[in-house]
Amino acid sequence: MQEASYKIPGGKLVKVKLSVTSEKIDRVRVMGDFFLHPEETIQVIEESLIGCKEDENSIRIVIEQVLKNSEATLIGAAASDFSKTIMMAWKST
């Protein structure tokens, strides 16, 4: 499990736990003290990221798409903060 934490300037903390197999996301947990309504959207984000390659832009787009499809509101963090932290975890090995 690779891990990274990112403190959003003036905001919340995002923490990612990541497992990568064959250069693709195998399992990911996006954690932290942000708010996301509805809360179950976090599981949808995590499932949708499975199979993603190491590309910050495409990871961010996947997250943004889930937020849009779930009509979800993310508060105290943005999709780009999640993708940034995922990349930090990816590079942490």
Task: Give the interface with other proteins as residue ranges (CB under 8 A).
Answer: 11-13, 15, 17, 29-39, 42, 73, 75-76
Q: Which is nearer to other proteins, 54 or 70 (CB)?
A: 70
Q: Which is nearer to other proteins, 5 or 53 (CB)?
A: 5
Is the alpha carbon torsion for 6, 9, 60, 63 positive or negative? positive
* Residue 27 beta carbon to other proteins: minimum distance, rounded to whole angstroms: 13
* Residue 22 beta carbon to other proteins: minimum distance, rounded to whole angstroms: 25
The closest alpha carbon to 54, from 11, 74, 84, 33, belongs to 84
* Residue 34 beta carbon to other proteins: minimum distance, rounded to whole angstroms: 6
Tell me the Ramachandran region of residue 51: left when phi exceeds 0, alpha when psi lies from -120 to 50, beta otherwise.
left
Alpha-carbon distance of 92 to 66, in angstroms, equals 26
